[in-house]
Amino acid sequence: MPKHIFINSHDLDTSMIGAQLTGGKGRFADIEGTCFGYKFDFTQLDRNEMPESIREKITDDWLDAHNLVKFNLSEESASDLDLSAITEEDCEILNAMPEGTYFWHTRHVLEMFKHIDKLDAHIVQLVSRGYEPYFKTILNYQIFEKGVDECSGSIKDLLYEIHTNITNTDRCAMGIAEHQLPVLLCDYETMFDAERFRLKIASPLGIEVNVNRNKKILADYLEENLGSISHASDEEILAVDWSSKYPHKWDSIISPIIKMEMKRAYVSDKKFFTEADNTNQRTVENYTAYVNRDWIDELLHQMKDNYYDTDFDDLIDTMLYADKKIELKKFLEDPN
């Protein structure tokens, strides 16, 4: 019987979970709009390797992106989260796949896993704890990979969108834990520590990983995705011909301030990687809470000042980290 691993978050990048579970055997794809930023995608599945009984039932999204998220809901049905669920028919297809371990992207909602008991399946659930030093990766992923649409009209709108993704990811983690589904919780400290990841995520899944290889994968990812502390001047930004560098990405950003600062981050990254004497590298180690190295840090701390909820954070600690029993049903249904 095939094993299925559901890697779950609410619009946060989980690619380094997948990269470590597979030893980087997949595709490293550029995030357009960043200088050298990239994400990891799983190797495309081959339709012809699937049994004939399910070959034509599998969607291209399953094969190409390992994506079980259902985006084709109508506006009328979008509020009915049960319609996002992995159905019994989906389970029949998943169970009919050849023996092996399969990795799938899923999105946020507890309702998605209503038939998980019909599968040999486990959930790896991202939790936001410890995300702060990696905030630039979250910002880039939101703006350039997920897309900003109307949320780029102001800094307030952008921060609200990112904060919503973070809290909804944690809310789903609490719901999954409360319902005692087969879940492993992976916070940012675990996701970016190869040895911790092996102990807390890979080993419980029965997956052997090469820690040294994963250390290199993580180091490369962080170097290129964190890049540089923003230090480019306005003059250096204005000297760039932006019409030849992902113009559709810049055109999607409405706020002039956000657009200028994201361009500053791009130019700063390029300067860091091309100037031999440039010492402006952004690292996890040189992050200090509420010390602003640049605009990106200011953005993070502004978000925490405006939206940080001590009670919600205490609930996360109690439910997910203290291993205490607590009644969360009322809170999850009506957080206000």
Q: Is 104 helix (H, G, I), strand (E, B) or coil?
A: strand
Note the pLDDT of residue 323. 46
Closest CA to 318 of 177, 204, 109: 177
Could you please report the per-residue DSSP string of 105-125? EEES-GGGGTTGGGSEEEEEE
Taking the domains of the chain in order of start, what are their residue ranges? 3-322
Note the pLDDT of residue 150. 67
Tally of CB atoms within 10 A around 318: 15
pTM of the model: 0.89
Q: How far is CA 319 from CA 6, 9, 110, 187, in A?
A: 21, 17, 16, 14
* pLDDT tens digits, one per residue of 65-100: 788 876 555 555 555 667 778 889 999 999 999 999
Query: Of residues 334 and 276, which shows the higher confidence score?
Result: 276
295 token code pair: 């605009």
Q: Is the confidence at residue 265, as pLDDT, over 70?
A: yes
CATH for 3-322?
Answer: 3.40.50
Mean pLDDT to the nearest integer, 317-332: 54
9 token code pair: 């978050």
- Measure the CA–CA gap between 195 and 211, rounded to whole angstroms: 6
Exposure string over 252-287, b if 16+ CB within 10 A, otherwise e: bbbbeebbebbbbbbbbbbbbeeeeeeebebeeeeb
* pLDDT tens digits, one per residue of 287-306: 999 999 999 999 999 999 99
Q: Which residues contact 60 (CB under 8 A, 6 or more apart)?
A: none
- Measure the CA–CA gap between 95 and 105, rounded to whole angstroms: 17
- Measure the CA–CA gap between 199 and 179, rounded to whole angstroms: 24
* pLDDT tens digits, one per residue of 176-202: 888 888 999 999 999 999 999 999 999
Mean pLDDT to the nearest integer, 273-279: 96
Mean pLDDT to the nearest integer, 300-313: 87
Q: Is the confidence at residue 6, as pLDDT, over 80?
A: yes
* pLDDT tens digits, one per residue of 147-164: 877 688 899 999 999 999
Mean pLDDT to the nearest integer, 8-33: 94
